[in-house]
Structure 1
Amino acid sequence: MALEEYVGAIVLEVGTTEVEVIDLSVTVKTGKKIVKTMNRTGKPRGFTKGVQEIDLDISVVIPLSGDLDWKSIQGAKITVFPVSEGGKRMSYRDCVVTEVGHKYTVENEAHRSLKVVAMDEVEE
């Protein structure tokens, strides 16, 4: 079996500040909905197109000095960097923080958990 190379670092850019991301989970809702009609078969007849939504769940470390005001962040950019030179970056633009939480564990550092909505997903 040959060795595989995988995606590397994830960075959250808020203005000129870069924040290291520990965990990132992306959910894209297509906005499509089933059209239910009253017909003999009792099955849906098709679907409608809607507005796409990009939801991100993020965990970041809490620095000892100068934590950000996470509740007021809007217009941020999250980029997933490939380790190899030939790989492409995936960026989530115009991100808005909708929820802020705190997470503490016994063995690791304290984390800030964020729920974020991105307006655009771009492969660079």
Structure 2
Amino acid sequence: MALEEYVGSIVLYVDGQEIEVTDIRPQTNTGRKLVKTMNRTGRAKGFAKGIAEHQLQITVVMPKNVAQPDWDEMEGAKLTTMDMDGNPLYSYLDCFTTQTGEQYTVDNEARRDITIQSLRKVQG
């Protein structure tokens, strides 16, 4: 049996600028809803399509002498995740920030937590 190689760490780009990220959690809500009906079987019979939503929660470090995007004002941005070989995994288009926060702890570097909504997600 041959060994399989899997995607490990990723690289995040925001409008072409590489960002030092420690954590990224993309999440898609498909928008589908369960349709419950009253029937003899006593179970749902299907679903209704809805509008998909794409949300990313990312944690970035706060470098001292490197320009970072203005996260609070980000609108219409493109976020791309790539594997370590430079192959694009997903691109999130028309992104805008909905929340930002900062985190300072005694044992770790200063970090910024950002919640981003995307209007479109494309593979590759």
The reply on whether 1:107 has 2:107 as its aligned counterpart is: yes
Answering whether residue 13 of structure 2 is matched by residue 19 of structure 1, we say: no
Which residue of the partner structure matches residue 73 of structure 1?
Answer: 74
Deviations 1:35-66 (A, max 9, x none): 11122322112110011111111001113245
Change in 2 beyond 3 A, CA 1:72/1:84: closer
Residues 79-118 of structure 1: per-residue CA shift (max 9 Å, x gap): 1112236x44321111111111112222221110011111
Quick check: 1:82 aligned with 2:70? no
Structure 1 regions of 5+ residues with no counterpart? none
Residue 118 of structure 1 pairs with residue 122 of structure 2: no
What secondary structure is seen at the aligned counterpart in 1 of 2:106? coil
Give secondary structure in 1 for the equivalent of 2:72. Answer: helix
Q: CA RMSD in A?
A: 2.3
Name 2:92's counterpart in structure 1. 92
Name the % identity: 38
Give the number of equivalent residue pairs: 122
Relative to 1, partners in 2 of residues 1:3 and 1:40: Cα closer, same or farther, differing over 3 Å? Answer: closer
- Distance change >3 Å, CA 89–CA 46, structure 1 → 2: closer
Aligned 8 A contact 1:61 1:111 in 2: yes
In 2, Cα distance between equivalents of 1:119 and 1:67: 22
TM-score by length of 1: 0.81
**Structure 2 counterpart of 1:29:** 29
